[in-house]
Structure 1
């Protein structure tokens, strides 16, 4: 299809429990593995693969290309990746699927997710997302394909993130700012 029109309808949302504020969590193929708990995040400027998923995929650490560019998160916190790795990613079901080489930042910190798809991948796939419909749609040679988010898994991930120990989350954050001590005591 040369110029498909991608849209969403109420029919696309009929499988969901409404109202909801669930995150868009999908399953895709990364390398040779069906990878679950992938957060689709329009606000992320990077694709992220968490280190436990990297290890389960049995990817040798030598494939990581060093990087010293930190990820800057909420409140200005910084996370320093272990490196970057490029892996083949397949989204959709045959024949309406696309396969792309995706560069992931490898991050070694706690998360309920295995990976995050950010704008670089969404844009390269010409994908459209709808959090209301919990769906991603993208053009393929054989028409528009859709990948549904999983409301139950989204809830599980949310609860897992709430239950994570603060010290586990802090392990991946390195603040590189000098903090001044107060000159006098506060009341």
Structure 2
């Protein structure tokens, strides 16, 4: 998929307008949808949820707050899965998408972030105001609405709305720090790393388990004598009629 000047036809240039499109959500044409590559989640604002006449009982609890680019925190009404169609027949895609429903004022009805763009395998062009996505027999597309985009953008500037959201990391989702432990006393080369948040009992059991299974560690190249060809074999696709040329030897550090 690529974009050219033909894809920019209809867009008034030059411009810095956001990419605002229309999608069919639960059978309704839904306008004022911001395509935001910077947002890690898909957002539906509560007024849009109500205008679609969706049953509130479809909302599932979602306890992680949203954090905006400016650090503002918003708690959610819940998460809902909705049927979304992008494009026009016959070049369209239908997907079930999860939306986080937010109760705060917005000039937009919906924000589509990276998660949806990745599911569509879509490419976006803010210059062309266009979204393209692959389908079985070609490429579908949806054009942005430049008039609505400017209306929404002016409203956003007037009230300083935030529309780039990410889910706040839970403590258990963060990367755990590791520490090196010496498995063979006096041999500093034979070390491995374990988590620093383990309880003393779990740490002791894990350390003992690792010491009892030292034979599975490869501390040097000599500890890896080879793999049976019945398991895996590497072959070079060479022309037997060509003269071999020896290249200079490449040496890799043990690490």
Is the structural similarity TM-score above 0.5?
Answer: yes
Residue aligning to 1:48? 43
Equivalent pair of 1:96/1:141 in contact (CA under 8 Å): no
Residue aligning to 1:140? 135
Quote the offset at 1:41 in angstroms: 0.6
Task: Trace 1:19-168 onto structure 2 (pairs within 5 A).
Answer: 19-164=14-159
> Cα RMSD (Å) of the superposition?
1.4
Q: Please give the alpha-carbon distance, in whole angstroms, between the structure 1 residues aligned to 2:16 and 2:76.
A: 29
Q: Please give the alpha-carbon distance, in whole angstroms, between the structure 1 residues aligned to 2:107 and 2:71.
A: 21
Quote the offset at 1:142 in angstroms: 2.6
Q: Please give the alpha-carbon distance, in whole angstroms, between the structure 1 residues aligned to 2:38 and 2:6.
A: 26
Residues 32-87 of structure 1 show CA distances to partners (whole Å, capped at 9, x for unaligned) of 21000000011110000110010011111111001111111122111111100000
Q: Please give the alpha-carbon distance, in whole angstroms, between the structure 2 residues aligned to 1:126 and 1:113.
A: 23
Aligned residue pairs: how many? 162
Quote the offset at 1:153 in angstroms: 0.6
Structure 1, unpaired ranges of 5+? 1-5, 171-187
- Which moves more between the two structures, 155-164 or 113-122? 155-164
Q: Please give the alpha-carbon distance, in whole angstroms, between the structure 2 residues aligned to 1:140 and 1:94.
A: 11
Equivalent pair of 1:26/1:149 in contact (CA under 8 Å): yes
Structure 2, unpaired ranges of 5+? 163-255
Q: Please give the alpha-carbon distance, in whole angstroms, between the structure 2 residues aligned to 1:93 and 1:141.
A: 14
